[in-house]
Amino acid sequence: MIRILGIDPGLKTCGWGVIESANGRLSFVAAGIIEPPAKGKASLAARLAALHREITAIIAHYGPAEAAVEETFVNNNPRAALTLGQARGVCLATPALQGLEVAEYAANKIKKSVTGVGHADKTQIQAMVKLLLPKAGLQCTDAADALAVAICHAHHRGISERIAVA
């Protein structure tokens, strides 16, 4: 059995989800969102620090062995892309600093792993997460996306090592 933390990075709202994977079976552990202080109420550094603290607390509480983070979606707005990239950096570094192996997955790969379609919308992701993890219930879109990242990792983790062994 392996416990996996999935993260859907964001500086306004960051989704997180923890699942367990054992012998191809998935089970829901927990999920939620992190909402750092709003822009204008705190500096960028303070907002990033809040994100780091919350992810650290989630790792300490749920004890995942591995983490997976969604790759950045390229945005037309360079400022928004840069800010998202900084939040994503915290989402990658925090689990790594806690000793977890961290994987990254493109949004299309996550969607295809969970729904079978690489361009699924948010409602399709939510529905499939609820179907695959019935105890998760209906999560908000950011938490459902984070659970989808964890599900994707459960399906793809160690695949290159298995291919090398074969």
Tell me, yes or no, if 8 is annotated catalytic: yes
Tell me, yes or no, if 70 is annotated catalytic: yes
Strand, helix or coil at 109? helix
The b/e string for 33-56 (b: 16+ C-beta within 10 A; e otherwise) is bbbbeeeeeeeeeebbebbbebbe
**CA–CA distance, 21 with 4 (Å, rounded to integer):** 8
Q: How far is CA 162 from the centre of its chain?
A: 24
Of the candidates 20, 54, 66, 70, the residue annotated as catalytic is 70
Of the candidates 8, 54, 66, 145, the residue annotated as catalytic is 8
Which of 89, 93, 84 shows the shortest CA–CA distance to 39?
84
Tell me, yes or no, if 121 is annotated catalytic: no
Of the candidates 20, 54, 66, 142, the residue annotated as catalytic is 142
Residues labelled as active-site residues: 8, 70, 142
